């Protein structure tokens, strides 16, 4: 029975890939992937050292919290399934145990090179700031995003990490309502856009919540304060990102750039997101009782799957830690992107 189910599953995955991408796109992805394999051990160490640094900072601040050490004994998933081995703190703090191997591990925390930027990017108007939350309500989420250059396997200082995401109930700044004639639209069935609604148009030009960009520091890390994103029809819970290697700061605090080196999306473990689904205001999501939240592997346009790279070897999922003693005090997510700093791309395929 099992092999049959498995081979059916593989067939489904393969046919899901039938959606053609250009030769050029596939070639770029493959080259980056090959380069990233080589960087895997460096990335694992990079992420591990950031986690160690963070846990030391937090532990120094509140050594009195009972059981606090346990929170750093592994990822959230390890805590849930109890598989963490508290004896080996060094390896558990790492994204994956840092092994001296050229082969990429499951949890190496390298984001896949390029997936669609989607319909909600604002080419102009993303403020340069670290706290993108404005007055949006939701679970506190800190992001620790590392960037490495796959040409050298070294962290990349001073590149601009641009992020944008939906609010707790699934709306992007500027896009509050569907087109009037599409108010009763149902998600598409079948085809490339299966599960999706048409994109909501930009109607509120002044809104900037949950959008912002910040340059990586000397260690190649950009940190952000935000809220955990909500979900909308057809898409797995995610945060978008672009990386620019040069940019011009505008007088109103936003930026312009034609040096795009990366477009990607970050995801979260479904188990964690299921817990957050139960918290206010995530419980107010308008599609909660109809279509519900799309699980990662059911993501429309194969975006979650594509984010694992052509050979499925990348991990686009944040490694999450609790910020306090309980989940409602917030989370911090660690991830590392491998980008090609010498490349400047046009925008790839838009979904
Ligand atoms: C990832 O982990 C799964 C489950 O442990 C395993 O079956 C799979 O082969 C691993 N993939 C890679 C690329 O290591
Ligand atoms: C900042 O200025 C740019 C260029 O004039 C403009 O497109 C953008 O909308 C402005 N952004 C904000 C938030 O005011
Ligand atoms: C998210 O944004 C939409 C559209 O602007 C707004 O109606 C909704 O109240 C926001 N969600 C929360 C939880 O504030
Ligand atoms: C990085 O980009 C440069 C310039 O486009 C290209 O020549 C090189 O092959 C790319 N390297 C990788 C690993 O993709």
Task: Please write down the HEC assignment for all residues of the chain.
Answer: CHHHHHHHHHHHHHHHCCCCCCHHHHHHHHHHHHHHHHHHHHHHHHHHHHHHHHHHHHHHHCCCCCCHHHHCCCCHHHHHHCCCCCCCHHHHHCCCCCCCCCCCCCCCCEECCECCCCCCCCCCCCEECCECCCCCCCCEEEEEEEEEECCCCEECCCCEEEEECCCCCCCCCCCCCCCHHHCCCCCCCCCCCCCCCCCCCCCCCCCCCCEEEEECCCCCEEEEEEECCCCCCCCECEEEEEEECCCEECCCCEEECCCEEEEEEEECCHHHHHHHHCCCCHHHCCCCCCCCCECHHHCHHHHHHHCCCCCCCCCCECEEEECCCCHHHCEEEEEEEEECCCCCCCCCCCC
Task: Return the pLDDT at 231.
Answer: 97
Mutate to test the pocket of ligand 4, among 31, 110, 338, 345 (most ligand atoms within 8 A of CB): 31
The pTM for the full model equals 0.81
Atom of ligand 2 nearest to the CA of 205: 9
The mean per-residue pLDDT over the stretch 161-171 comes to: 98
CB of residue 9 inside a 6 A radius of ligand 3 = no
The mean per-residue pLDDT over the stretch 12-41 comes to: 66
CB of residue 177 inside a 6 A radius of ligand 3 = no
On the question of pLDDT at 10 being above 50, the answer is no
Higher pLDDT, 94 or 259: 259
The mean per-residue pLDDT over the stretch 199-206 comes to: 97
Report the CATH number of the 32-59+104-339 domain.
2.60.130.10
The mean per-residue pLDDT over the stretch 105-114 comes to: 48
On the question of pLDDT at 216 being above 90, the answer is yes
Nearest CA to ligand 1 atom 9: 106
CB of residue 169 inside a 6 A radius of ligand 3 = yes
Cα–ligand 2 centroid distance for 246 (angstroms): 18
On the question of pLDDT at 114 being above 90, the answer is no
On the question of pLDDT at 143 being above 90, the answer is yes
Spell out the domain ranges in the chain: 32-59+104-339
**Closest ligand to the CA of 207:** 2
The mean per-residue pLDDT over the stretch 130-159 comes to: 94
Task: Return the pLDDT at 13.
Answer: 37
Cα–ligand 1 centroid distance for 340 (angstroms): 26
CB of residue 301 inside a 6 A radius of ligand 3 = no
On the question of pLDDT at 6 being above 70, the answer is no
**Closest ligand to the CA of 123:** 2
Nearest CA to ligand 2 atom 9: 125
Task: Return the pLDDT at 58.
Answer: 66
């Amino acid at each position: 029975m099992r092999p049959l189910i498995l081979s059916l599953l593989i067939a489904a995955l393969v046919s899901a890939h039938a959606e053609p991408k250009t030769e050029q796109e596939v070639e770029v992805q493959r080259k980056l992937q090959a380069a990233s394999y080589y960087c895997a051990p460096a990335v694992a160490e990079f992420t591990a050292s950031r986690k160690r640094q963070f846990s030391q900072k937090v532990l120094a601040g509140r050594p009195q919290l009972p059981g606090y050490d346990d929170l750093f004994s592994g990822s959230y998933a390890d805590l849930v399934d109890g598989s963490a081995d508290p004896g080996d703190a060094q390896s558990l703090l790492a994204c994956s145990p840092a092994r001296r191997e050229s082969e990429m591990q499951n949890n190496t925390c390298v984001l896949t090179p390029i997936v669609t930027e989607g319909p909600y990017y604002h080419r102009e108007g993303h403020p340069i700031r670290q706290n993108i939350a404005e007055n949006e309500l939701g679970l506190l989420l800190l992001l620790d995003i590392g960037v490495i250059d796959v040409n050298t396997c070294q962290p990349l200082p001073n590149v601009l990490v641009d992020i944008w995401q939906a609010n707790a109930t699934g709306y992007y700044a500027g896009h509050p309502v569907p087109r009037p004639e599409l108010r009763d639209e149902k998600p598409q069935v079948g085809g490339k856009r299966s599960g999706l609604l048409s994109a909501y148009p930009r109607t509120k030009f002044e809104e900037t919540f949950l959008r912002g960009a910040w340059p990586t520091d000397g260690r190649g890390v950009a940190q952000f304060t935000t809220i955990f994103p909500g979900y909308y029809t057809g898409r797995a819970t995610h945060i978008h990102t672009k990386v620019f290697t040069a940019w011009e700061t505008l007088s109103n605090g936003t930026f312009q750039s034609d040096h795009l080196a990366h477009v990607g999306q970050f995801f979260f473990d479904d188990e964690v997101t299921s817990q957050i689904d139960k918290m206010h205001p995530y419980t107010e999501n308008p599609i909660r009782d109809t279509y519900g939240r799309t699980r990662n592997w059911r993501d429309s346009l194969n975006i979650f799957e594509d984010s694992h790279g052509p050979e499925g070897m990348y991990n686009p999922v944040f490694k999450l830690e609790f910020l306090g003693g309980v989940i409602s005090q917030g989370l911090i997510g660690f991830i590392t992107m491998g980008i090609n700093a010498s490349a400047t791309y046009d925008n790839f395929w838009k979904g």
